[in-house]
Structure 1
């Protein structure tokens, strides 16, 4: 599935498939509410300072926006754990073949922290942030990461999708 809050997008993936068991990669014991029967993960990439210092979009300072627009910032991975998420306007299902999904997994693996991991508490009890690579810029946004990751799997997307709407326009509405 592809998720959007109107500003930021994420990929929502089954926790276990033949192509990948995400449990050892992103263990539930790394979130505060670790005892739930999680079935899915939402994985997204974004700018470190925005993720860690902006709990709501109303907390985003103009200075942070100007800094990102000018020089960018370090990338950070955000992982949320879900129990049976249901399709909705902001959470659209996307069908991939096994081969497409394997390519999607391989692309995500490129940003998964290796070795000693540095993590930070998330916004709530079911999410966590991880240090990762990449440099966030106006040309390489969180939504562009989602779009590029989908494109690596063979999903048709726009060539530049800095905004959430630019990603979501390529994902059919769940009602269609």
Structure 2
């Protein structure tokens, strides 16, 4: 039988670690980068989407045809949509979790401690409507170019991987997913690279979204 003090420590340690991680994430997300940035009156419009856990960046489809090809989607007709939703994340979690009902605690834990692979997830979508879960950002042409360079650098060589349906696809990605570099941290890094005002470390979706108008 486990001694009582050791049992209490075994329960308290992971709970304490979660609290520390949450506090560190909120503090990191509250420290601004590119603090002087202001959106221009005119430029290239992009969107940031949030489903409450995961964030992604929605960009115009034009200019991505060499990397994201119509044939990569289950039904190439979806490529007619004028926008591409792009996110980065853990390969096993992304591919193995088409819905939240498919969530596997083992996969979540594996990703948190450091996964062995990552993927880009791309959806062909119509232009979204800005709202609580979707924020519109206007970028200067040079800022959009910086964002494009960052996103393109996240794609790794290799063939596309079948998506959840006819409208999406996965691609091999660079980088290693972990609790320190989450899908939301990637979104924050991408926006920071574009010189948008953003938190220094954004592991949670909220730490990305609260900086966006």
TM-score by length of 2: 0.74
The alignment partner of 2:198 has SS state of coil
Aligned CA-pair RMSD: 1.3
The answer to whether the 8 Å contact 2:86/2:123 transfers is yes
The answer to whether the 8 Å contact 1:28/1:81 transfers is no
2:84 corresponds to 1:56: no
| Partner residue in 2 for 1:8 | 54
Structure 2: segments with no counterpart, 5+ residues:
1-46
Alignment of 1:23-102 (within 5 A): 23-36=65-78, 37-102=80-145
Match of 2:197 among 156, 160, 164: 156
The answer to whether the 8 Å contact 1:6/1:164 transfers is yes
Query: How far does residue 70 in structure 1 lie from its aligned partner after superposition?
Result: 2.3
Which one has the largest radius of gyration? 2
| Partner residue in 2 for 1:113 | 156
The alignment partner of 1:167 has SS state of helix
The alignment partner of 1:155 has SS state of coil
Structure 1: segments with no counterpart, 5+ residues:
none
Query: How far does residue 66 in structure 1 lie from its aligned partner after superposition?
Result: 1.9
Work out the CA distance in 1 between the residues paired with 2:98 and 2:116: 17
Query: How far does residue 97 in structure 1 lie from its aligned partner after superposition?
Result: 0.4
The alignment partner of 2:139 has SS state of coil
Work out the CA distance in 2 between the residues paired with 1:97 and 1:108: 17
Query: How far does residue 61 in structure 1 lie from its aligned partner after superposition?
Result: 1.5
Query: How far does residue 166 in structure 1 lie from its aligned partner after superposition?
Result: 1.0
Work out the CA distance in 2 between the residues paired with 1:80 and 1:141: 19
Shifted more, 132-141 versus 66-75: the winner is: 66-75
Work out the CA distance in 2 between the residues paired with 1:86 and 1:124: 22
Q: How many residues end up aligned between the 2 structures?
A: 166
Work out the CA distance in 2 between the residues paired with 1:112 and 1:41: 14
The alignment partner of 1:134 has SS state of coil
Work out the CA distance in 2 between the residues paired with 1:46 and 1:75: 5
TM-score by length of 1: 0.89
